[in-house]
Chain A
Amino acid sequence: MTPVIQRIERIGQATTSGVQELGHAAMLFLESLFWVAFGRLHRQPVRLSAIIRQAMEIGITALPIILVMNGTIGMMLAIQGIYTLRTFGAEQQVVFGVAFSVVREFAPLITGILVAGRSGSSLAARLGTMKINQEIDALTVMGIDPTRFLVAPALIASLVMVPLMTFMAMGIAMLGAGFYVQIDLGMSLPAFFDESFRILRVNDLAHGLGKSGLFALEIVLVGVVNGASVTGGAEGVGRLTTRSVVQAISAIIVTDMIFAFILTR
């Protein structure tokens, strides 16, 4: 076989495998919705205790790092904004830049990336380890649907917690920016927030939170699809966990761009 044909074959295989993974993710999403809606009818409800456990893991334990990072990003935006606007003598307008950037862009993006790196990878590693230890087979043969038991709770928890954390991240990023603006421009914190609330519309908030909901979906589905494809023991778990983080962050950034393209122009 010539190298050209081999390369074409490899591209074909990668494309097929990518489409298969997308299909798998879509099926997992639909199955999860099915179990949330009809699980009780089938005497297999998605349990609240499992959702709360996942919410703790995805949300509560990640909150400190998310708040610290978003506070820092808010401050950084204020520093850069004032530096840029000073060229035009318009540094008082920094609130515009910070408020829109934080609420529409940075809070959802930074929160999404942190959750992908922290909880998405942990989900992929956990499922991968369960797969190689035959724990997923054990669930199946016990008549417990693995999607209902493992995926649906993580999906619901993520869809609730990521937007909630994004909302908190918006607040803390604005606070970080406000502190710096107070120091550099002498604008008081209440004045900074008054100005921000005057500028921002509900649409801006919905833009940021809506996006974070999509990111939540992507993080869980990418983690689950990768975790479920693990083969080859501990090395396979490591490889697929790394792949899961890279894919989730890439998906978040691409989605963010598409979202911005469609709703911002």
Chain B
Amino acid sequence: MSPISNQRASGSDPFSRPVEEVAVSVRDLVTHYGDRKILKDISLAVRAGEILVIMGGSGSGKTTLLNHLLGLLQPTSGSIRILGQDINAIAKRDLSRLRQKIGVAFQGGALFSSMTVGENIMLPLREHTDLAVSTMEIMARLKLEVVDLAGFENLMPAELSGGMIKRAAFARAIIMDPKILFCDEPSAGLDPVVAAAIDELILRLRDAMGMSVVVVTHELESAFKIADRICVLDRGTILAIDTVENIRRSDNERIQDLLNRRIERTELDPEEYLRRLTEGGT
């Protein structure tokens, strides 16, 4: 059973909880690409030890939100606190230290192609600790064992399959024993069996290491399997943040469209259609 019951997950306002219980909090986040508003007043919180799945269709803003959570983009307004620290307000040096407490598994793995799998996994240790090489090698092998990739440390990323690359990326993401793990589309592009194994891995890592996990995905099956709570994004706004059961039962039409893979039909204004044809734009 998940360490956080659904009852707790759907509980009271997360912003009123003690700092140590909130791993990530986002308040009134607004961001633009040029003149286009991409995220509109996003507020959410990820509690310590929970798995929050951020779900939404293409163009819903979920990847942009993740990039903001990782501090890769600067918001127009609003604040993001990771482990109690505002990542857009702290000094660069403190941000670098804070980042040692988070792990990220990117969609394509983002393994360094010029390094072996073992070197990839050891990189954060090599850069942030004074451990002996032999100790780092042992730790890397240990993490490879955790992700079921024992014995693959001397291979190059190009020699791995898609699922193995994702596992190696998880091993690198957890090498510093992070408090929060972010995963971008962990099961995208994988066959159903491998995707299910990745889902199991995420659950196992959370249970074994007690970390909070934020997963961005559009895979419904995967989201329902691993989530304590699901945040549904649509066109830059949050439609709902709730437990899996409540999301399934939601009477919000857009959420049901997403869950049942229905194409959204919008009435087209003839004048607007004419303007688009003659002047271009969206």
- Chain A residues at the B interface, C-beta cutoff of 8 Å: 42-44, 129-130, 133-135, 137-138, 140-145, 149
Q: Are A138 and B127 in contact (CB under 8 A)?
A: no
Give every chain A residue within 8 A of B111 (Cβ-Cβ).
135
In whole angstroms, how far apart are the Cα atoms of A135 and B104 in the complex?
11
Whether the Cβ atoms of A140 and B72 lie closer than 8 Å is yes
Could you name 15 residue pairs across A and B whose Cβ atoms are closer than 8 Å? Answer: A44-B96, A44-B127, A134-B106, A135-B112, A137-B67, A137-B72, A138-B112, A140-B70, A141-B71, A141-B99, A141-B102, A141-B182, A142-B99, A143-B96, A143-B124
Q: Across the interface, do A144 and B110 meet the contact criterion of CB distance under 8 Å? A: no
Residues of A within 8 A of B70 (CB): 137, 140-141
- Does the CB pair B106–A143 fall under 8 Å? no
Cβ of B108 < 8 Å from any Cβ of A?
yes
**Contacts known (A143-B96, A143-B99); A133 close to B113, Cβ less than 8 A:** yes
* Chain A: CB-nearest residue to B97: A143
Q: Is the pair A141, B72 in contact by a Cβ cutoff of 8 Å?
A: yes
What residues of chain B lie closer than 8 Å to A143, measured between beta carbons?
Answer: 95-100, 124, 127-128
Is B107 an interface position by the 8 A CB rule? yes
A42 and B93 contact, Cβ closer than 8 Å, known pairs A135-B112, A143-B99: yes
Q: Which 3 A-B pairs have the closest CB atoms?
A: A143-B99, A138-B110, A134-B110
Alpha-carbon gap, A140 to B106, bound state (A):
12
CB-CB under 8 A from A130, the residues of chain B are 112
B123 located at the interface, meaning its Cβ lies under 8 Å from any Cβ of chain A in the complex: yes
With the chains together, A129 CA to B71 CA distance in Å? 21
Q: Which of B98, B123, B182 has the most CB of A within 10 A?
A: B123
Report how far A264 CA is from B182 CA in the complex, Å. Answer: 59
Whole-angstrom CA separation of A142 from B112 in the bound complex: 13
* CB of A234 to closest CB in B, whole Å: 14
Q: Smallest CB–CB gap between B251 and chain A, Å?
A: 38
Say whether, besides A141-B104, A143-B96, A43 and B128 are in contact (CB < 8 Å): yes
The CA of A43 and the CA of B97, in the complex, are separated in Å by 11
A144 lies within 8 A of B127 (CB): yes
Tell which of B72, B100, B102, B108 touches A133, judged by Cβ atoms closer than 8 Å: B108
Most buried by A among B108, B110, B112, B128: B110
Interface size classification for chain B: 20 to 34
Most buried by A among B71, B72, B98: B72
Least CB distance, B101 to chain A, in whole angstroms: 9
Instruction: Enumerate B117-140 residues with CB–CB distance to A below 8 Å.
Output: 123-124, 127-128
Cα–Cα distance between A142 and B70 once the two chains are bound (Å): 10
* A233 CB to nearest B CB, Å: 12
Chain B residues with Cβ below 8 Å from A142 are 99-100, 104, 123-124, 127
Complex: A62 Cα to B61 Cα, angstroms = 46
Q: How far is the CA of A137 from the CA of B127 in the complex (A)?
A: 16
CA distance A22 to B28 in the complex (A): 35
How far does the alpha carbon of A145 sit from the alpha carbon of B92 in the complex, in Å?
10
Closest residue on chain B to residue A126 by CB atoms: B114
Interface contact B110-A137, CB-CB below 8 Å: yes
Nearest chain-A residue to B106 (Cβ)? A134
CA distance A144 to B98 in the complex (A): 12
Other-chain contact of B110, A42, A133, A145 (Cβ < 8 Å): A133
Q: Which of B71, B102, B107 contacts A134 (CB 8 A)?
A: B107
C-alpha spacing A149/B127, complex, angstroms: 10
CB contact between A137 and one of B96, B100, B106, B123 (< 8 Å): that residue = B106
Compute how far the CA of A137 lies from the CA of B71 in the bound complex, rounded to whole angstroms: 10
Nearest A residue to B101 via CB reads: A143
- Quote the shortest CB–CB distance from A242 to chain B (angstroms): 21
Q: Which residue of B lies closest to A149 (CB)?
A: B127
B129's nearest neighbour on chain A, judged by CB, is A43
Q: Determine how close the nearest CB of chain A comes to the CB of B132; give it in whole angstroms.
A: 16
How far apart sit A145 and B97, CA to CA, in the bound complex (Å)? 12
Q: In the complex, what distance in Å separates the CA atom of A29 from the CA atom of B247? A: 51
Closest to B112 in A: A135
CB contacts (< 8 Å) of B99 on chain A: these are 140-143
| Cα–Cα, bound, A129→B113 (Å) | 10
Docked Cα-Cα span, A4 to B242, in Å, equals 55
Nearest A residue (CB) for B130:
A43
**A129 contacts across to B, CB distance below 8 A:** 113
- How far apart sit A142 and B99, CA to CA, in the bound complex (Å)? 6
Q: Is the CB of A138 within 8 A of B128?
A: no
Query: In the assembled complex, which residues on chain A have CB atoms less than 8 Å from the CB atom of B127?
Result: 44, 142-144, 149
Given the complex, which residues of A lie within 8 Å of B112, measured CB to CB? Answer: 130, 135, 138
CA distance A133 to B107 in the complex (A): 9
Chain B residues within an 8 Å CB radius of A149: 127
Cβ contacts under 8 Å, A141 to chain B:
70-72, 99, 102, 104, 182
Determine the distance from Cα of A183 to Cα of B104 in the docked complex, in whole angstroms: 66
Asked if B100 and A138 make an inter-chain contact with CB atoms under 8 angstroms apart, the answer reads: no
Chain B residues contacting A145 (CB-CB under 8 Å) are 96
Nearest CB on A from B65, distance (A): 15
Measured CB to CB, the closest approach of chain A to B114, in angstroms, equals 8
Chain B residues with CB under 8 Å of A135's CB are: 110-113
- Complex alpha-carbon distance, A137 and B182, angstroms: 13
